[in-house]
């Protein structure tokens, strides 16, 4: 069951739960996420950043699309953090049902201009569009400035931006950063800012950089109206750390014996995130 982002988040909004977006670039992690969603009857979003899309290639995501279409669980195939109109076109041509155009590093008016252009193109072929105002920090190689360089979303911009662009979901900056946080740094979500933004709009709100944050804050953010939370680093680190430990212990080299150990860790992390999102058992609503 392959839906667009609007279709999957409209139901989440109506029934007050959150859908996780999981960035995957290869088949074992992808299959682990899908099987977890199927086991727990939970809707999910399969995401790829532009560099991940380029690395894995269109043929891989053609396989992903086919696998999701065969599932009885509702999924979205989503391009994360596209920086250009052309990135979005390529993803849509490859079968993605949702794209994020990230103009947050542009001026406000330029962000609106490029976002509106993507919306006009994507909506013509029933593809949803997510955009961002404010900038989310980064803890790895990125154009963004890290945990101290976050530009918080200005609530007064939210209505104007969404009305002028007609986007389907809005990523907001409330204190998270991409990747793992530096040792000794404790992130804190600005939940009061989330409440203020939520009071102004019913558009589905998105949290990027959802890994490595306190469970209590993520769960409370979902209760307050976050409808999509992006997860990447948490399950990838669990996957590779498990494989590293297993390989160091066994020196094995058969993928069919090695990779399931990492996949088990992915499933454990994803299941835990789904508990925070309260999305288990919700697939039957679609």
- Mean of the per-residue pLDDT values of the chain: 89
3 state DSSP class of 8: helix
| Per-residue model confidence (pLDDT) at position 142 | 40
Determine the average pLDDT of the residues in 6-19. 96
Q: Beta strands 226-231 and 205-207: pairing type?
A: parallel
Nearest to 218 by CA among 182, 226, 178, 266: 226
Q: Mean per-residue pLDDT for 48-54?
A: 93
Is 188's pLDDT higher than 60? yes
Closest by Cα among 1, 10, 5 to 78: 5
**For residue 27, is pLDDT > 90?**
yes
pLDDT at 147: 45
Of 80, 87, 102, 234, the active-site residue reads: 80
Helix (H) or strand (E) holding 112: helix 108-123
Q: Is residue 80 annotated as part of the catalytic site, yes or no?
A: yes
Considering the entire predicted model, what is its pTM? 0.90
The tokens describing 267, both together, are: 């499933």
Which pLDDT belongs to residue 187?
59
Q: What is the pLDDT of residues 198-223, one digit of tens each?
A: 999 999 999 987 566 788 889 999 99
Neighbours of 86 (CB within 10 A): 9
pLDDT of residue 211: 63
> For the chain, where are the alpha helices, taking DSSP H only?
5-15, 27-39, 50-56, 58-70, 85-93, 108-123, 155-165, 191-200, 215-223, 233-250, 255-277
Write down the pLDDT at residue 175. Answer: 73
Task: Write out pLDDT tens, residues 128-146.
Answer: 999 999 766 544 444 333 4
Closest CA to 47 of 100, 92, 89, 117: 100
Question: Residue 248, class by beta-carbon neighbours within 10 Å (0-12 exposed, 13-18 middle, 19+ buried)?
Answer: exposed
Whether residue 127 has pLDDT greater than 80: yes
| Among the listed residues 87, 195, 81, the one whose alpha carbon sits nearest the alpha carbon of residue 143 | 81
Under the banding of pLDDT at 50, 70 and 90, the label for residue 176 is low
Q: Which of 121, 122, 123, 146 is nearest to 135 (CA)?
A: 146
DSSP string, 222-266: HHTTEEEEEE-HHHHHHHHHHHHHHHHHH----HHHHHHHHHHHH
Name the range with the highest mean pLDDT among 131-135, 163-167, 192-196, 212-216.
163-167
Region 36-54 average pLDDT: 96
Structure confidence at residue 260 as a pLDDT band (50, 70, 90): very high
Which pLDDT does position 139 carry in this prediction?
Answer: 42
């Amino acid at each position: 069951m392959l839906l667009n982002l609007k279709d999957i988040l409209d139901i989440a909004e109506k029934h007050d739960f959150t859908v996780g977006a999981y960035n995957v670039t290869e088949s074992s992690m992808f299959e682990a996420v899908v099987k977890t969603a199927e086991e727990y009857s939970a809707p999910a979003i399969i995401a790829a950043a532009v560099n991940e899309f380029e690395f894995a290639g269109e043929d891989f995501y053609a396989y992903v699309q086919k696998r999701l279409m065969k599932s009885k669980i509702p999924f979205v195939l989503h391009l994360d953090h596209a920086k250009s109109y052309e990135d979005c076109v390529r993803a849509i041509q490859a079968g993605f049902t949702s794209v994020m155009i990230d103009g947050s590093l542009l001026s406000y008016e330029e962000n609106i201009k490029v976002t509106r252009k993507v919306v006009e193109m994507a909506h013509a072929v029933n593809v949803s569009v997510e955009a961002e105002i404010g900038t989310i920090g980064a803890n790895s190689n990125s154009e963004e400035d890290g945990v101290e360089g976050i530009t918080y979303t200005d609530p007064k911009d939210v209505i104007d931006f969404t009305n002028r662009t007609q986007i389907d979901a809005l990523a907001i900056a409330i204190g998270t950063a991409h990747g793992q946080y530096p040792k000794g740094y404790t992130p804190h979500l600005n939940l009061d800012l989330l409440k203020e933004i939520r009071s102004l709009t019913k558009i589905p709100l998105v949290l990027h950089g959802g890994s490595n944050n306190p469970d209590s804050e993520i769960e409370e953010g979902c209760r307050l109206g976050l409808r999509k939370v992006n997860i990447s680093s948490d399950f990838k680190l669990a996957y590779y750390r498990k494989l590293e430990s297993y390989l160091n212990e066994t020196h094995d080299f058969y993928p069919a014996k090695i990779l399931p150990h990492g996949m088990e860790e992915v499933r454990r992390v994803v299941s835990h995130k789904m508990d925070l999102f309260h999305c288990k058992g919700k697939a039957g609503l679609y």
